[in-house]
Amino acid sequence: EIVLTQSPGTLSLSPGERATLSCRASQSVSSSYLAWYQQKPGQAPRLLIYGASSRATGIPDRFSGSGSGTDFTLTISRLEPEDFAVYYCQQYGSSPRVYTFGQGTKLEIK
Amino acid sequence: QVTLKESGPALVKPTQTLTLTCTFSGFSLSTSGMRVSWIRQPPGKALEWLARIDWDDDKFYSTSLKTRLTISKDTSKNQVVLTMTNMDPVDTATYYCARIAATGTIFDYWGQGTLVTVSS
């Protein structure tokens, strides 16, 4: 099964800065099957990006996703105070049919 | 409006069987293409997918936990039930149910989660 490794583990930035989060897969992943979620303390995860680069409904355009193969990136162009949270990448495997999450990147205020 | 809500015991003893119920609204699991999953998250740790059930009663399980998990649905009640046998303290986690989007690949709506603690 595919393993997703996210880096860095923690990213310390200031509001207004650009954030770049990485998700690396242990083998090639179809772009169609790569997603990103945001989770704030005490809350359920929220879908941000699907198909590697498509924003989910209601997600601001400062969030963007890119990548292919084994390397994927979530970029937040200008950080807002509400963006400080933990971010997870997730992939779907069609054989076997399983879902895998990365270990998360914590985005904290510097 | 799609909503999901988890319910079940907050505390279970080691070796016991955990039964969790996900009650949802805004969609029907009898509709072609609908799917629901369970996902868990130990305190301070990452998300872990557990199981999925489809509109046609197909079921899929985490490779590492499949011997302990059973997922089922009651379409008339709009509920999905997860049982996990032989509970251990390492199974202490918040358990979420989530709807899977029509693509089958992502979780588009989540419940609020329910914390289950395993302790004697």
Q: What is the pLDDT of residue A96?
A: 83
Q: How far apart are CA B72 and CA B53, in angstroms?
A: 7
pLDDT for A12-60, tens place per residue?
999 999 999 999 999 999 999 999 999 999 999 999 999 999 999 999 9
Q: What is the pLDDT of residue B46?
A: 98
Min Cα separation A8/chain B (Å): 14
pLDDT for A46-100, tens place per residue?
999 999 999 999 999 999 999 999 999 999 999 999 999 999 999 998 888 899 9
Q: Which residues of chain B have pLDDT under 50?
A: none
B chain contacts of residue A97, beta-carbon cutoff 8 Å: 52, 60
Q: Which helix (H) or strand (E) holds B12?
A: strand B11-12
Q: Which of A2, A99, A100 to mutate to test the interface with B (most CBs of B within 10 A)?
A: A99
Q: How far apart are CA B103 and CA A94, in angstroms?
A: 12
B chain contacts of residue A10, beta-carbon cutoff 8 Å: none
**Whether B46 contacts chain A with CB within 8 A:** yes
**Whether A109 contacts chain B with CB within 8 A:** no
Q: What is the pLDDT of residue A95?
A: 80
